[in-house]
Structures are given as structure tokens and as C-alpha cells.
Structure 1
Amino acid sequence: MSDLSLIALSARTAALLLAPEGARYRLPRAVDWTLAPKGGDTVASGRAQIAPLFFEGLEPGRDYVLTCDLGSLAFSTPACAGLVEASDFGARPDSPDNAAAFARAIDAVPAGGCLRLDPGRYVTGPVFLKSDMTLWLPEGAEIAAHGCRTGWPVLPARDDTGRVIGTWEGVPEPSFAAPVTALGCTGLTITGRGVIDGGGDRGDWWSWPKETRDGARRPRTLYLAHCPGALLSGFTVRNSPSWTVHPYRCDDLTAVALTIRNPPDSPNTDGFNPESCLRARLIGLDISVGDDCVAVKAGKRLAGQKAHLAPTRDLQITHCHMARGHGAVVMGSEMSGDITDVRIANCLFDGTDRGLRLKTRRGRGGRLVRITMENVDMRGVPTPLAVNAFYFCDPDGRSAAVQDRAPAPVDATTPEISGITLRRVTATGVAQAAAAVLGLPEAPARGITIEDMRVSYDPAAREDVPLMALNVVPVRHGGILADFAEVTGTLRVQADDKEQTDMLTGFFDAYAAGHAPYKGGAWCYEDGCIYRGLECLHRATGEARWLDHLTRLVSAQVGAGPSLAGYDPNEYNIDNILSGRALLYLHEVTGEGRWLDTAGLLVDQLATHPRTRSGVYWHKLRYPWQVWLDGLYMGAPFQVGYGLRTGRADLVEDALRQVATALDMMHVPETGLYAHAVDEARKQPWADPETGQSPAHWARALGWLAMALVDLAELVGPAGFAPLKGRTTQLLKAIAALRRPDGLWLQVIDRPDLDGNYPESSASAMFVYALLKGRTLGLWPGDAEGLHTQLAAGVVRDRPGGGQEMVEICEVAGLGPFQGRYRDGSAEYYLSEARVSDDAKGVGPLMMSFAAHQEAGRRPREAVAGE
């Protein structure tokens, strides 16, 4: 596939796939793009962070050109036979049930036409679509099921022709119609940025997961049966009563750029269930649900019944993100009609219980054959590959007939598993086993091949069973576990400290050698992050190359007089103080007075730097009365270091007093954490009118704080740090408790429930540095084993073309107006900021955490005040 391709098209929407080398669901680096009609002016532009790029509001029958960093692509939207507005037929956001209005509107859509909903939330019972139509749900439009079963339509197991239309877990059964249902439709498109809400939390759907009520099984949210060539693109499906999106016997289905969300405790709410479908394509889906993310089905054999069985074959699953589900991509256990020729590629599995999961049992029959997974990254997945022919589902699932390890007779009900290939898979934070394969003694799993699979283990993992079968032994940090199975291949375990050390030092050396000043040569804190990293590396290793890099880079910004390139003290920017720590270190190791003289320029700024009424430095002159956590790291350790070096006890005392005061101002009792910022004047729109605090907890802001505290503890020693010790320990414990199984921390650190939240690399490096230092200094009593090893495995990736890069770094975040927009400090705001690779704010702290890891390996724990 090319780097840029068209993957879905309707008269008014389009989806493209950005797929440079190294892309998964997320891109290895942001891609800027513009969209324009052919020969016309730009109608849209932006910066893409993920592989699927979706547009709506296009004109039918128009030629367009998408231009981006990867090239350009021309496409033409098809004509539309007519646009029908649902509102013209009585659809209203204030109506208690819009089902009748929707039915009238759908009936009015001409062949090849489009039904559009205005923005708003439309409560409804089930809506039945028809052939040769497009349902366009633009951004802001929502179809929401009311959840009341009274009068809810029921799909019979079969229609008058004997065709299966009602199903439940692989067998024909009456079931409640989905809020959006399509039966036997051709030429069907559902598209747009809107929402279909299944109403799972309304009514009683989740209280009877395996029962039948009123003669029917629970509904899906979007159900398509016998709809060849259907196109689904762009929209969100959420809050499902059971399986969320269920295409049944829909050949040549395309589903792209969908978002699927269900609560993690909602029962049997699989995300996407292609059942008995040929040649389906699932591209760029983002799924986080209460059961399996993508669950591939092919019917379940019943005694005397197999006419309902049909294969799923030639399925493509690419550039998808699977999070939090029981399994990322699962096949079975309803697979009696055969699941064959499946390709899973360029995906990210994030915190699912298992990665690729194949499950079946005696009595199923059918085949799981020719399944390939390649170029897939997994983070915090306890068992990346789980193949289980003893799955204990159904009422007899735990019986001796199903679970006995003695060979049983082979017949038509014996399932087959063969030809399973994993290639170029990276899994960090593995807990139970890299691969667990359990075939049948009478029909072993054959041809299981593992090529270039790299794993690292979660040091905090506990023993548990990797497969849902009886007589499976709990395991921790297992490799390839196989029984009644033919498995070839090896793992590359990324737990060798020397190998990782060599990789990281090579990465750091190359980065420092090629580092270009962040702001064109002007003195700034971003360069200071690299300077601090090089200082820590030199302190930890004594290797001259780190000091050489530091001297070369800092010297380029220090001039005669003394002077600092591009530095204006009258900006009163506390960020500019950070790089001064490099001046103090160079003075320490060389004894040259010019370094300390230059540091004096920064001290002069601090002497007149504006302060809050409570005595804490403003973050910047253009941010009056505001204190940010970032600023505590930028200023206080330098001021203390300079004070200690020059005998200025007043500077030391003032810095410590400011930090203590700031902690009082910014502590959030409800979370035990600290606000990103506080406005003492209570004038900023982002500030709480009572506390002045910003609303959400940004991880990197807390990272700056944690690093500031441990650095101050190291500088002033036990007695001087005693007043801050208790709060530091409390903070480090809170941070450690929020660490994910993959060893990383979320961008909005305390919101694992937040849609779109992601593990952020720079903050994770800061936290590991602070915890390692805290452990050494007696400030944190936790277990530091594996902290840095797991961090590095999770944030450093092989760069296409050679070398390494640090990925998933939030480029910048702040508060207030900036570059034409307003940063309101909400959780959603922090998720909106761009993510980049190899930013100094990430690489510098990674250098620091590596240095702390090296020091911790050879130094006994020290004591701090109170011990």
C-alpha cells in the first residue's frame, strides 16, 4: 500500500489513509495537510496525528485534491440523487421517539440519495434502513435509543424465505432489532462524524446478559444482515446493549475511521463482530469496550443444525487501535463455518487482556487457518498471543468431554487450528506469557510461526492463567508456552540491561551530536532539558563525550560580556532560568569563572522578577499573578544551586520557601495531586473562581514538579529538605500508583476513563527519574526494579531507515491564549495538543532517567530527614 490512499468515498464524505513507514493507528510523526477542490482554494487544512483522515461536508460530483507531507492524491465524489432532511419529516431533538419520523424520511429518499440529520440528539426506537441510500450523520447529530423494551421490534430467527436475520452468539434466534438496522440492503452507506448511541445504560439491557426476555435476545447497536458492499465511515458508536457493530453475511463490507466506545464493565459489548463475511476491510478503527474489541465470528454448530454456518474469509484489519478490551483481535469461539485468510497489520493494542486471541473447543468443528499478524505494537497486554482449543464456554464447557486432555475421536466436530503467523510484533509490559498455545491432543495446533517478536516484561506482574481453560497453570513472565502445538520461532526479550544500555547510549550520543538549538540559537528551556540530560549522564558515567557535547552546545549560546544569545531578562520568563543549571555544572567541573559570571545574568533577572502577593515568581510577565508547576522546576533548583555555590543562603531559603508556598496554593485535596497552575488574581477564564486552580492534571506538569522536588532534596540534603519531605513522599506514592501495566503514565494522568487519553512519553520519563531519585534519597519506599527498563522499551522505537526515536511526546501545552487559540486547561484540551517524536522535552528527561537508573544500580539508598 502506498503512503497515501483513498479508503472510503461517498457523495459528501471521504476517508484517506496516511501510512508512512512505521505508522500504526498513530503516525510516527504529524502530517500537515490541505484539501481543495481541483483548481480551487483550500477548503480545509490541519495536522494529522492518526492514520485515518476523514472529511465531511464535501460537494457531490466534485474533484478534490488532498496535499500533504506524503504527497498528493486526487479523488472525485460521486453524484447524489437527492438530499432529504429528516427534519422535513418531523424528526426533532425534543421528540420522545423519532422512529416514525425517521421511517417517513427514509421512505422519501430516492435511489442513490442521502438522508441527513441536523445537529442534535434524536431519541428513537429502532430505525430500519433501505437499499441504495446514504445515512449522513454530520458532526453534532446523534441517534440515541430510548431503551424501553415495550413495543420494541423483534427480528425473527428467519424470514419468510428461511434466511437467517435474527442471531445470537452464532445461532439463529429471535433478537431485538438494533437501534439502526439494515436487512438485505444493497448500495448502503452510513457516514459522518455523528454518533449512534445504543442506550445500553438506559433500560435493563445489561442486567440480563445471557437471558431471553419477551422472547428475544438483546439488541446490537448497529446490525446489518445480508448487506453486500456496505460502507461505514467516520462515526462513533457507543453504549451498546450487547455486541456493538454486527455485520452478518455482509460480503465486501468496508468500515473505516469508526470510533467505538462502551464502558469497561458492560457485559458482552464486543466492539466489531464481522460474522460470516467475505472480503471485509476494517481500517483505522479506534475501539475501547467491555469485551473483545474486534471479535471475528463464523457461526456456532448445533446438533443437527449447520445450514446457518458460513465462512469469514479474506478479512483485513489494518491501522486500528484496540484498548482495554478482553482481547484486541479475537477469533471464535463461534467459528464453526471457518475463519480463514485474515491479515492484521500496523495496529496498536493498548492494555487489552490478550492481543491476538483464538478460541474454540471440542464440538465446534470449523477451521482457524492462515491468520497473519504483522507490524503490530502492544503495550501492557498480559498475553500477546493466546490460542486455546479448550475454551470453557457454554453450559458444558467445563465438562470432561470438553476439558479432558486425553485424545478424543476426530470427526466433523473437531476444530482445526493451523497456519498462524506473527511477524514484527513488539510487546511491552507482558505479564503472563508472550505466547500461550494449547491445541487438542487429537488435533494439535500446527504451523504456529513467530518471526521477529520482541517482548519486555512488566516487573510488577503477578502469576495468572494465560488461557481460559481448566488445568492451566498460572504463570508470570513466560515465553512461548505450547502444549499439543507445533510452534516455531523465537522471542527477542528486551530485558538485557547491557543491550538496552548500548542502544540508549548510542541514541543519546547521536541525538546530542545532531541537536540543533530549539529556537534557532536563542537561550531557552527546551535546550536546557538536553543540557540537564547531558549533565546527568556525565555525572553518572564519567564519560567525556557527554561533557564534550554539553560544552559545545552551551558555548554556542554564551558570548562575551557575559551575554546569552537571544536572552531578554525583561521578558521575566521563568522558563529561561533552567538552562542556567548547565552553567553551574560547567563551572563545577572546569573551574572557569566565565560560566558562573554568565549564570549571574539569570540571578539578576530573579532579583527583580515579579512575584505573587504570597511571594512566588510569576511564570512570565505575560502571565501575571500565575504560578505554574513547570516554573518550579525551571527556577528553584537553579536558584538553590547558585546560592550554594556562591554562599548566598538567602537565595536557598527563598527558593525553598517559594516551593512550599506554591504547593499550598496548588494542592488539590480531592485527588492528592497538584494543579498545573494557579491564578492568584482569579481573573483567568481557566481558573476556578474559589481556588484559582486550573481544572485538569497534566502529566508533564506533575513531572516537572516531581523532578524539582527530588533535585532540591539532593541539593540541600536531609536537614534542609525536611519541611518538604512529607509532601514529596506523598506525591511520589500517588504518581507510582497511577503507573500503567506497560510502565507508562497517561497524558491526563488520573483519567484512564477519558476517551482518547494516551501514554505520554516525556512525563513518563520524568516520573521514572523522580521515582529512581526518590528511592535513592529515601523519599519513596516503592520497588524501583524495572522502572527504567520498561520505560525505555515503551517509548523508544526503531526508526524506519535505521537508528531510534523517542515517540508519543506531547509537543507543548499551557494555559491561556496562544497562537490564535485559547488553552482552557481542560482534560480535553491536553489531549488536543500535537504529539511528536524526539522533542527535547522528552529526550532530555529520558537521558536523566537513564542516568538515575545507572546510579541506582551501584549506590545504596540514602537517608533523608526523618529517618
Structure 2
Amino acid sequence: MFMFLNCQQLVALILELLLFGKPLWVVSSSSLCKETSSGIDRPHSVSITEFGAVGDGLTMNTKAFENAIFYLNSFADKGGAQLFIPKGQWLTGSFMLISHLTLHIDKDAQILGSTNSNDWPVIDPLPSYGRGRELPGGRHRSLIYGCNLTDVIITGDNGTIDGQGSVWWNWFRSETLNYTRPHMVELIDSKDVIISNLTFRNSPFWNIHPVYCSQVIVQNVTIIAPLDSPNTDGIDPDSSDDVCIEDCYISTGDDLIAIKSGWDEYGISYAHPSTNIIIHRLVGQTTSSSGIAIGSEMSGGVSQIHVEDVHFFNSNRGFSIKTSRGRGGYVRNVFITGVILSNLKVALKFNGNYGEHPDESYDPDALPSIEKISIQNVTGKNIKVAGHLEGIEGDTFKHICLSDITLDVRSKSPWICSNVEGFSEMVSPDICKPLEPKINPDSKCYQMSNHLRSIRPRNKGTSLQ
């Protein structure tokens, strides 16, 4: 993993290791994803070069990708197939995957996204968003795209997918975009998905976006973008269930992981929640946003979230919940444990007045329900503010439970709280008054639940535990 960090990031990470010891991804050998290999052995395999692709970084290879995948579709009912990407720089526009496919990117291979927007087709907005996330109307299709798929593996020997996003960032900053920017990888209405052993760089927008998906594993992935790159979220599970994210390093210009489920009235109507999501052994930094965020698009509901062994450094916020009037939906049953923070502005942030609305048709009386958020076993050094916990007037965030938290805080007002209530124990510095009551058997604190299940891909003959 270290080979993919630039010099500045590597120095920062070494300093963190000197302060806190071993990196989180070697603290424990056990996997919550129950996944140790990169996929099944496909009986058929072809190289992209067999379809005329040229890996010189200049030749456009979109047609080669399309032809190769069209050919491999004939093996879908014969155990599936693999498309092998060898050493080289393979420039391409957006292309679509198929079911029962492994896209294998070799160690010295790079898939490069085209810098011509015409190579990224415009598609309809997601029904749970009602429009493009940035602009009304459609949105550019992701570099690697799939819809209604089963048994998809995107993996490699630490090969690279580079979206060459700087041109898109410049268009965004100059307000010259006609449509919402594309993601790097987006899979829609798909199941049994593995994304592993890869490096993602310079996404035009969000990096990995499974939406309306089930049984998704993202494991041993490095995601890098400049810290000032706009909206380059790392991994955004969206209206998806049974998702496991493990052993990842992310350094980007927005939330490292953002759990979502649709936007205002569109998300409420579509009503597809994100649930049973595991985040395990995550390390990273973001100077603009959060290590892990829920929202702000959470109108379809978010529940059963388990976060364990994460380390955020040189960042704006550690963990945040973002919502507002008009969002509706809910966030509940969240359990976070084993958190190391260093050099952060705010360790915990709840914001009940966050973000814009898709249009004027949203219902301002649609209030989100935020409850049963348990955070424990947190240590932090050089933290400016311990917590800024702001609910919504008339819509209190309830059953917030904080325990075994020790933060080295610089501010004379370490906790800022309004419209929240809950319980606490062993919290330093002293917690704000609404959370002063001690945790007891009647506290209704959410504990590590029996109903959170280990994630295993069904295509290997396994099932949910």
C-alpha cells in the first residue's frame, strides 16, 4: 500500500505511526468481510490487446473495451470470463461491464479516463435524486459503469484507474459544465460485487459509487486525489445494503466515505435505505470534509452501520452526520469503535442545517429522525474542537451515546451542543450538558448488534451469516 503514497503523504503517515504504533490494517488479521481472495477463477480469459487496444496513453481504446466485453458476454452462462489489462497506459472513455465478469488490471497497468467530455455519455439522473447532483438534468456516465449486474469483480495486482479528473475540476470551478460530473466507478441495481487490490486516482467526481446494490465488498483499495480537488469522495454506498469496506487508504478532496440514500422528496419517494454497512480498518485524510459521513443525502434512510478500527489524520472532521429540514428519512443504529484521530479541527460533527435542496418541491416539514448513535473507544491528539453536535429545533437527535473517549483538545469550548440528548461515560474533556446523564441499562444506547451480518459474496457459494 505504501508504494502508492506521494512523499508528503508518506511522511505524514510515518509520523502517525510513530505517535500511535502499527498501522490499523495490520493490527488485526481477522476480516469482517470474510473475503480473502480477489474472486473466482474464470474459465475464460482474454487480454484487451486481442481487440486492438494500444497501451501508449494516447490511443483511444473505448471501442476495444466495448468489443472485448461484448465478446465475453457469450461466456456469461459458462462460468463467466476475465478481461485482462496488461502493463501499459490504456486511454478510454466510459465503458459498460456485464455480469459474471472479472476486470483484472495488472500491476503496471493504468486505465486512463479520457479528457474529452464527449467520451463520457450523458445518462438520466438517478430516481432517488431526481436530477444531477450538481446541475438539473442528466449526468455524465462513470468511467466504469454497470446496471442490473450480478457477480462482478474489479480487481488486480495493485493496478491503477486514473480518471485524469483535473480537466473536470477546472470545468466545475469555472462553472462551464452542462451536466453533473462523472464518477470513476458506478454500479446500479447490482449484486455480488467485489472491488479489490487497486489504486484509484484523480476521479472527476466521486470515486466508487454503488447505488441500489447488495452484497458489495471493497477491500484493499487505495484512493488518491489532491486534497483541494472538489467533491472527490472516496467510497459512497448509496441506497445499498450488505456493504463491507475494509483495509483501505483514502486521501481525497471530500468525505473519505459517505453513506447516502437519496435526496429530499426523491429519496423519500424511492424509499431504498442503506443498511448493514461495515467499515473496518480505514486510514486517511481529508482537509475539507469528514473521514466518515452519513448524508447529507439520506432521505431513504440509513441504519445498521458498524465502524471499527479507523484512523484519520490532518483532517477537517472525523465523523459527521449531515442532514436538514426537508430531508426526511432517518439515521439510526450506528456503532463506531476503535477510532484514532490526530490533527483534526472537529472530532465529531452533527449538522442539522446542511446542504441545498434539489428543487423547490421539497417538503420543509419532512424532518429526519436521528437516533441511537453510539461512539466509543476514541482517542485523539491535537484536536481543535471535540464535538459540534447540532440537531434541529423541534427535532432533537436522540439516544446519542458516547463512552471511553479521550481527546487532547485546544479549544476552551470543546463541546458545542444544541437539540441533542443522550448519555455518556468516561469522556474527556467533560461532555456538554445534554449528554451528561450516565449510560445505564435504560439508556437505549445502540450496542454492537446481533443483526449486523458478515458480508460474503454469494457467487462463491457462501451466504450471509
TM-score, scaled relative to structure 2: 0.79
The 3 A distance-change label for structure 1 pair 222 and 79 is closer
User: Which of 217, 221, 225 is the aligned partner of 1:262?
Assistant: 225
User: Is 1:301–1:309's contact at 8 Å kept on the other side of the alignment?
Assistant: no
Residue type of the partner of 1:141? A
Q: Which residue of 2 aligns with 1:199?
A: 164
Offset at 1:172? 9.1
User: Is 2:129–2:263's contact at 8 Å kept on the other side of the alignment?
Assistant: no
Offset at 1:255? 0.4
User: Is 1:479–1:491's contact at 8 Å kept on the other side of the alignment?
Assistant: no
Offset at 1:427? 1.3
Residue type of the partner of 2:386? A
Spell out the pairing of 1:377-776 with structure 2 (5 A cutoff).
377-394=340-357, 411=365, 413-431=366-384, 433-458=385-410, 476-490=411-425, 492-493=427-428
Say what the alpha-carbon RMSD is for the aligned residues: 3.3
Spell out the pairing of 1:19-38 with structure 2 (5 A cutoff).
none
User: Is 2:130–2:358's contact at 8 Å kept on the other side of the alignment?
Assistant: no
1:208 aligns with 2:208: no
Structure 2: distance between partners of 1:165 and 1:425 = 34
SS at match of 2:86: coil
Residue type of the partner of 1:422? I
Q: Which residue of 1 aligns with 2:299?
A: 336
Q: Which runs of 5+ in 1 are unaligned?
A: 1-23, 32-47, 55-72, 403-408, 459-475, 496-867
More strand, by proportion: 2
User: Is 1:27–1:50's contact at 8 Å kept on the other side of the alignment?
Assistant: no
Offset at 1:212? 7.7
User: Which of 54, 69, 88 is the aligned partner of 1:120?
Assistant: 88
Offset at 1:313? 0.6
Deviations 1:217-257 (A, max 9, x none): 11011111111111100101110111111111111111001
User: Is 1:27–1:51's contact at 8 Å kept on the other side of the alignment?
Assistant: no
Q: Which residue of 2 aligns with 1:85?
A: 47
The 3 A distance-change label for structure 1 pair 107 and 282 is same
SS at match of 1:285: strand
Residue type of the partner of 1:257? N
Structure 2: distance between partners of 1:299 and 1:77 = 30
SS at match of 2:213: coil
Structure 1: distance between partners of 2:118 and 2:36 = 50
Structure 1: distance between partners of 2:383 and 2:208 = 29
Spell out the pairing of 1:773-788 with structure 2 (5 A cutoff).
none
Deviations 1:428-485 (A, max 9, x none): 1110x21221111211011011110011124xxxxxxxxxxxxxxxxx2433332111
Q: Which residue of 2 aligns with 1:688?
A: none
Deviations 1:70-95 (A, max 9, x none): xxx99897432211111111111125
Which of the pair has the greater relative contact order for Cα pairs under 8 Å at 6+ separation? 2
Aligned length: 401
SS at match of 2:110: strand
Structure 2: distance between partners of 1:286 and 1:219 = 22
User: Is 2:283–2:312's contact at 8 Å kept on the other side of the alignment?
Assistant: yes
The 3 A distance-change label for structure 1 pair 477 and 116 is farther
Structure 1: distance between partners of 2:393 and 2:115 = 47
Residue type of the partner of 1:195? T
Residue type of the partner of 1:444? T
The 3 A distance-change label for structure 1 pair 392 and 222 is closer
The 3 A distance-change label for structure 1 pair 306 and 415 is closer
Residue type of the partner of 2:222? T
Q: Which runs of 5+ in 2 are unaligned?
A: 1-16, 431-465
Structure 2: distance between partners of 1:248 and 1:212 = 27
Task: Say which one has the larger Rg.
Answer: 1
User: Is 1:165–1:183's contact at 8 Å kept on the other side of the alignment?
Assistant: no
Structure 1: distance between partners of 2:142 and 2:30 = 28
User: Is 1:84–1:116's contact at 8 Å kept on the other side of the alignment?
Assistant: yes
User: Is 1:227–1:249's contact at 8 Å kept on the other side of the alignment?
Assistant: yes
1:222 aligns with 2:195: no
The 3 A distance-change label for structure 1 pair 395 and 174 is closer
User: Is 1:257–1:284's contact at 8 Å kept on the other side of the alignment?
Assistant: yes
Identity of aligned residues (%): 27
1:100 aligns with 2:53: no
User: Is 1:378–1:428's contact at 8 Å kept on the other side of the alignment?
Assistant: yes
Offset at 1:324? 2.3
User: Which of 199, 211, 216 is the aligned partner of 1:236?
Assistant: 199
Q: Which residue of 2 aligns with 1:185?
A: 149
TM-score, scaled relative to structure 1: 0.43
SS at match of 1:280: strand
